[in-house]
Structure 1
């Protein structure tokens, strides 16, 4: 059974149960009221009978009977008896005993008695008169009450059925209206898949449970997207960062084996391989740290880093291995305040990726790197001689797997700037494209105050 049907059913059962209880209370209350009213009417009949027969001494019995039948409406199945102190019926022409002596004595003892005898209602009173002590009993069938209750029952049954149908229809309408956002949410969820992990369901402005489910689903999709990206990112990052040192190690080893060399030459080769191995170890450590930070499993291991010294190290490595013209211009020479809190391996990977991108898209022309200070920030401006990044693409270049390398005749996985942006943000910094110069990227990192 669907949720909306269950809601409609439960709501209808609760509503109709309450309605049935109210109708039953009204019915039995009305019945008791009519019974009490009829008992009062019977009591009045006994009192009138006492006045007519016991106190009107000068009027004959036949005349009293004529008055009684003329001015008092006879009740359905009415029976009235007056009993003297010897429990004998008197005054009224019908001298049948009708009630037992036990009943008459009970009335005489209690002074007033009323009870139901099957469908008949009975009232008895004890009346003292100058002629003696008398018991007057009257009974009748309240046919009018039976008719009224029967009509009332039919009306209530019709009302109950009619209102139950109306409540059922209205509850289905209300349930469908209430669950409409859930139905929309379910239809949107069907669109999610491995090929569009960036998909998010629409979140409403209300703070109901369905909106909470939508937020939880979107949060789950973000986690899945990050995990999926991490899987691809780690492979792409490893390939991106480890290709150069591995190639260098292979070339160095092949050159060393190409001919016989002296001991010193072999030592130089082995030392070069050791250096490249250490560099690979640092890179792998940094990539693993980046992966763990992506999953937010651990905090990044940060330490004070001198940016000017890191940039000089980067410059030497680029000139040593690739012989490319990387110019470092430090406007903070001799300034001990050029310190940021960072992971040196990750930060170097980020800067290397930006520099590599700059050389790639400027056809290996000169790349300049400026170190400046602005307020509480240290800025690294990397400027190349290429065409720059068009404004229409500036929001996309930092997304994973977004690349224009094929159009420029270059190889690339579209992970360099994404990884650089990720690292800089993890270090509480920002990376952006200069508004004045599209071929300039600016890295801003918070300055560590001494």
Structure 2
């Protein structure tokens, strides 16, 4: 239980730690680890090199010892005198032992050395030379063959100077390590503070943001790195949020107006009807008006339900559908509702290429989208013919809907997909401003590209690439 609580507290500390402090901690730990490992490697390399140099010196002295004890009968007295002088100068304060094959001391110190075991003597005989260290004592041995016999020549020495140098070097490294870690921590903190400064500045700006009232943007320094890309994306998101909020506000305003108009008309007609007794003809006229307004209200609510459903999810029922068949159904419906509108269907597909007409989609939704677009063309064409063409573009089907009607003004083009938005030049024509919104959302959910080009008084062309 105690361990779990301790672990939980450590987890809380880790999660609550600021990014700047976490960056400082991580970078400091990494540099400290690298510095520590580097210092350890330097120290080990130094001690190893120093000991190797000392062992080389002991090897020279071991050879000199063998000459002194075993070669007296084989050299001249002058040569031996020179060997003796070198030996006495070189081996002062050092213990020397010469072991025969049986492991007995033949020359040198008479007292046995507990560190020299029979196993070590065998190793010396097998390897011809052998060096090892016990605590602060250094041993070097050679196996020397002479006419008097074969001997293991072992020299033992202590090197307080080397030990002092190693200790002093270790102190220097530890001091440098501590100072280095302190410098690394300070530099890491300073650098992380500098690196985090733009983010801290942005956080202060974000705290004061209120995109519900006005369009706002973050100000940031030009860094030409990932941070600048992040801030640009955040500003783009702010723009989109502001636009969405404005669309929502406009939606509520327009929806209230669109719903209120038929309701007000219904209430007004009924109030007039109830003022006094009316003739059958008057009752029928008012009933027709009320029915018309009720149907208009029903259409608005139906479109709102469709739009709400489209906002929730992508199409669920997806099947292979011939788009030309859907288009014929649209044109049949259009001819019954707009009998005076002439529609020209232009088939521009290569001969035999009917495969591009098949598309996996939700047929009901695609029908609604196409009908809304074609109906708009009929509604605003002012009696002029509509041209609908089917073309092939890079193995895909392109449907173009062209009219020669009143067109869309440039300032209205960017708003045509907003719910209830109606262009300034169509305010007197029937409609509720939801058709383009629904069509746009359906095509977007099906990943179908739509492009609109228009000019006021010159007509509109809608290109749909499946």
Deviation string, structure 1 residues 125-160 (Cα, Å, up to 9, x no partner)? 454433455554322112342233234324423443
State which of 368, 377, 380 in structure 1 corresponds to 2:401: 377
2:406 counterpart SS class: strand
For 1:100 and 1:342, the matched residues in 2 are separated by: 104
Give the alignment's TM-score, normalised by structure 2. Answer: 0.61
Unaligned residue ranges in structure 2 (runs of 5+): 1-16, 317-325, 347-365, 390-399, 422-426, 444-449
2:93 is matched with 77
For 1:267 and 1:418, the matched residues in 2 are separated by: 30
Are 2:296 and 1:279 aligned? Answer: yes
1:35 is matched with 51
> Do the aligned partners of residues 334 and 24 (structure 1) sit closer, same or farther apart at CA in structure 2, a change above 3 Å counting?
closer
For 1:281 and 1:181, the matched residues in 2 are separated by: 54
2:306 is matched with 289
Which of 1 and 2 has greater Rg? Answer: 1
Deviation string, structure 1 residues 357-402 (Cα, Å, up to 9, x no partner)? xxxxxxxxxxx9463557843225339xxxx98x9x778887979x
> Do the aligned partners of residues 123 and 64 (structure 1) sit closer, same or farther apart at CA in structure 2, a change above 3 Å counting?
same
> Do the aligned partners of residues 272 and 2 (structure 1) sit closer, same or farther apart at CA in structure 2, a change above 3 Å counting?
closer
2:264 is matched with 247
2:70 is matched with 54
For 2:414 and 2:460, the matched residues in 1 are separated by: 17
For 1:397 and 1:89, the matched residues in 2 are separated by: 111
Deviates more, 1:200-209 or 1:20-29: 200-209
1:123 is matched with 140
Contact 1:125 1:137 in 2 (8 A): yes
State which of 32, 37, 42 in structure 2 corresponds to 1:26: 42
Q: How many angstroms does 1:100 deviate by? A: 4.9
Deviates more, 1:420-429 or 1:185-194: 420-429
2:140 counterpart SS class: strand
> Do the aligned partners of residues 166 and 71 (structure 1) sit closer, same or farther apart at CA in structure 2, a change above 3 Å counting?
same
Are 2:111 and 1:98 aligned? Answer: yes
2:42 counterpart SS class: helix
Q: How many angstroms does 1:14 deviate by? A: 1.5
Q: Give the aligned length.
A: 389
For 2:39 and 2:261, the matched residues in 1 are separated by: 88
Deviates more, 1:197-206 or 1:238-247: 197-206
Report which of the two has the higher share of helix: 2
Deviates more, 1:281-290 or 1:183-192: 183-192
Q: How many angstroms does 1:281 deviate by? A: 0.8
For 2:118 and 2:286, the matched residues in 1 are separated by: 134
Contact 2:21 2:189 in 1 (8 A): yes
Q: How many angstroms does 1:20 deviate by? A: 1.4
1:44 is matched with 60
Are 2:19 and 1:3 aligned? Answer: yes
For 1:348 and 1:260, the matched residues in 2 are separated by: 45
Q: How many angstroms does 1:249 deviate by? A: 2.2
For 1:286 and 1:445, the matched residues in 2 are separated by: 21
For 1:261 and 1:229, the matched residues in 2 are separated by: 47
2:111 counterpart SS class: coil
Q: How many angstroms does 1:162 deviate by? A: 4.6
For 1:46 and 1:103, the matched residues in 2 are separated by: 16
State which of 141, 147, 153 in structure 1 corresponds to 2:164: 147
For 1:58 and 1:255, the matched residues in 2 are separated by: 149
Contact 2:269 2:286 in 1 (8 A): yes
1:269 is matched with 286
* RMSD (Å) for aligned C-alpha atoms: 5.4
State which of 256, 268, 274 in structure 1 corresponds to 2:273: 256
Contact 1:245 1:279 in 2 (8 A): yes
For 1:63 and 1:238, the matched residues in 2 are separated by: 121
Contact 1:238 1:287 in 2 (8 A): no
1:57 counterpart SS class: helix
For 2:97 and 2:168, the matched residues in 1 are separated by: 33
